[in-house]
Amino acid sequence: MNVKTLIRTIPDFPKPGIRFRDITPLIGNPDGLHHVTLALAERYRGQVGAVAGIEARGFIFGAVVAHALGVGFVPIRKPGKLPGESIGHDYELEYGTNRIEMHVDGLGRGEQVLLVDDLLATGGTAAAAAALIERLGAHIVGCAFVIELAGLPGRAVLERRGCAVHALCSFSDDE
């Protein structure tokens, strides 16, 4: 199955010049969602004890991959959204900063973790999520994405951290 055919491009959203990659047709298609779930899960079967997903669309793919692997799911959230004791990591955006958090008891020391999100662009959010996972003493087996935006530095950012990156499809600027 060609996953790219189920991803809609919305020009000038959320602002002029941006080409938004909309996954709603993909997750609304049972065969497409099943394909993506199995494609990500089979690559990491037997290698991980948990899947961590980044809010918000990483929750969709991370949860179904965790289910397919028979392991738990750990949410990485925006500030103030987790009810228990949490740790956070601030990171730079193009214009400002952001923060993500996870529960301190979400992962165990030495646990093998797959980090999942829908899209890899600049790598800032994924690198911050990786930093949180590592602060808890867990090991990142891989960072998996449905979409990679070619031409942006996300892959290099994560690989410099020692993270193996896998994406099911990529889009160039002219697609």
Catalytically annotated residues: 57, 94
CB 6 within 8 A of CB 32: yes
Compute the Cα dihedral for 44, 55, 159, 9 and give only its sign: positive
CB 76 within 8 A of CB 103: no
Distance in angstroms (rounded) separating the CA atoms of residues 138 and 114: 10
List 171's β-bridge partners, or say none.
149
